[in-house]
């Protein structure tokens, strides 16, 4: 099919829950995607922070091909080597204790919430516990994940949602203190708010929340689905703050393209929460996706991907600062951590206009919130690609 036929078929047969850009991606190579007509695009959204290694990283591809020749699926009623190797890699990298593999980030959040409620139930046998979530947050589209997503726009059509959730203000510790009570069992937040506009946690705030959780025996759940896996210049964003969560969720770049997520528990949370029969998944953690996860961790270490992020971040930061300085009437602020960055645009500059114009100029880039241009490129970008992307954006703003 040609590009027009592809788009027409999708619109005819697929439930319209996405406003897709008007191109059909056919293939990718390195930092570039190609549409069905062969046009080339520099990819600065990486499948929404998924393709940390870009397209067709040779060793990654070979590892998946090799696993296809062995076995794709076994269910979780049996052991298999990719489960053993991937689990060890994830747990070792996080400094936590146990991992449960899921199919997606939303499922990871669901599991984390269940673990927190089971932890509290085991303490007092009650079902009236509360979870504190953050305003302007985003944790996923399933009912549980949506219940802790602090955005009325996403929630309103689907109420009533899961009960026992209250919302505090991100980076406002006094707001959290106002919501804590004897029924609070968990505090959940993104270490870097993504969809809410690219807001990293303030160091004093996240440390104070950690201390509060320790004092009150509350579980701290950190969502690193988008900001984890090296994107911030540390393997996990919470490492920047010298703290650890009780439960951490991850997905996206965990598998660099295959559908896999995970929630990882501290020793305390793992020993007193979910047990056999409490949680499960048919596809989650199958041999194919965990062969990918294992290879991703190998390649991150072999090619020092996290170290590279630390080296390229200052250059991207500098170029985006220069872009903002050149257009003070159009760009209000620049913020982020590592290679998850955002340019906050003036209300008179519609972010959708910029992303559409960038597409016309050969750059794939997306928004966050209502007026933030989001940068989540593959972690292997170089100065050359940064210059190319900024030059295109210069045209768009001009």
By DSSP bridging, strand 219-223 and strand 247-250 are parallel
Identify whether residues 257 and 275 lie together within a single domain: yes
The residue written with tokens 């269910």 in the block is: 75
Note the pLDDT tens digit of each residue in 271-306: 999 999 999 999 999 999 999 999 999 999 999 999
pLDDT tens across 90-138, in order? 999 999 999 999 999 999 999 999 999 999 999 999 999 999 999 999 9
The CATH number linked to 172 is 3.40.640.10
Q: Which domain holds residue 331?
A: 304-398
Is there a single domain that holds both residue 342 and residue 252?
Answer: no
Average pLDDT of span 257-284: 98
**pLDDT value at position 1?**
95
Are 183 and 211 contained in the same domain?
yes
* Same-domain status, 159 and 274: yes
Which of these three, 253, 280, 302, is where a domain ends?
302
- Per-residue confidence band for 163, with pLDDT thresholds at 50, 70 and 90: very high
Strands (E), the chain: 25-29, 32-35, 40-43, 98-102, 130-134, 165-168, 184-190, 192-193, 199-200, 219-223, 247-250, 261-265, 331-337, 340-345, 363-364, 366-368, 372-375
Q: Are residues 245 and 273 in the same domain?
A: yes
Domain presence at residue 15: no
Give kind and range of the element (H or E) at residue 368.
Answer: strand 366-368
- Is position 203 within any domain? yes
Identify the residue whose tokens are 């309103």: 156
- 207 and 327 part of one domain: no
Could you tell me if 164 and 184 lie in one domain?
Answer: yes
Kindly indicate the confidence band of residue 38, based on its pLDDT and cuts at 50, 70 and 90. very high
For residue 362, is it within any domain? yes
Looking at residue 326, which CATH number applies to its domain? 3.90.1150.10
Q: In terms of domains, do 289 and 144 share one?
A: yes
Q: Are residues 349 and 262 in the same domain?
A: no
Q: Are 309 and 379 in contact (CB under 8 A)?
A: yes
Q: Is 36 domain-assigned? A: no
Same structural domain, 394 and 323? yes
Domain count, the chain: 2
Looking at 278, 302, 326, the residue that finishes a domain is: 302
Same domain, 180 and 247: yes
């Amino acid at each position: 099919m040609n590009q027009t036929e592809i788009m027409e078929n999708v619109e005819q047969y697929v439930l319209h829950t996405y406003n897709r850009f008007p191109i059909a991606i056919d293939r990718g190579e390195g930092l570039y995607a190609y549409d069905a007509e062969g046009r080339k695009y520099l990819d600065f959204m990486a499948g929404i922070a998924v393709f940390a290694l870009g397209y067709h990283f040779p060793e990654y591809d070979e590892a998946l091909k090799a696993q296809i020749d062995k076995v794709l699926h076994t269910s979780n009623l049996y052991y298999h080597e990719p489960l053993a190797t991937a689990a060890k890699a994830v747990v070792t990298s996080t400094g936590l204790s146990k991992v449960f593999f899921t199919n997606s980030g939303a499922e990871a959040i669901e599991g984390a919430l269940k673990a927190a409620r089971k932890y509290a139930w085991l303490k007092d046998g009650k079902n009236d516990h509360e979870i504190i979530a953050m305003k302007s947050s985003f944790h996923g589209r399933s009912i549980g994940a949506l219940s802790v997503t602090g955005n009325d726009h996403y929630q309103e059509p689907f109420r009533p949602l899961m009960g026992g959730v209250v919302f505090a203000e991100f980076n406002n510790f006094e707001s959290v203190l106002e919501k804590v009570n004897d029924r609070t069992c968990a505090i959940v937040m993104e270490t870097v708010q993504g969809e809410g506009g690219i807001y990293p946690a303030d160091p004093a705030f996240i440390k104070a929340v950690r201390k509060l959780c320790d004092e009150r025996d509350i579980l701290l759940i950190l969502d690193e689905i988008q900001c984890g896996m090296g994107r911030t210049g540390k393997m996990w964003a919470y490492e920047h703050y010298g703290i650890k969560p009780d439960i951490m969720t991850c997905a996206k770049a965990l598998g660099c393209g295959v559908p896999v997520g995970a929630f990882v528990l501290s020793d305390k949370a793992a020993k007193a929460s979910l047990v056999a029969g409490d949680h499960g998944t048919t596809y989650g953690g199958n041999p194919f996706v965990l062969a990918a996860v294992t290879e991703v961790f190998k390649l991150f270490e072999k090619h020092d991907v996290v170290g590279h992020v630390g080296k390229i971040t200052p250059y991207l930061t500098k170029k985006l600062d220069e872009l903002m300085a050149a257009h003070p009437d159009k760009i209000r602020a620049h913020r982020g951590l590592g290679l998850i960055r955002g340019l906050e645009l003036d209300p008179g500059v519609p972010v959708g206009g910029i992303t559409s114009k960038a597409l016309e100029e050969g750059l794939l880039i997306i928004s966050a919130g209502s007026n933030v241009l989001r940068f989540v490129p593959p972690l292997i970008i170089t100065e050359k690609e940064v210059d190319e992307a900024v030059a295109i954006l210069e045209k768009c703003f001009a």
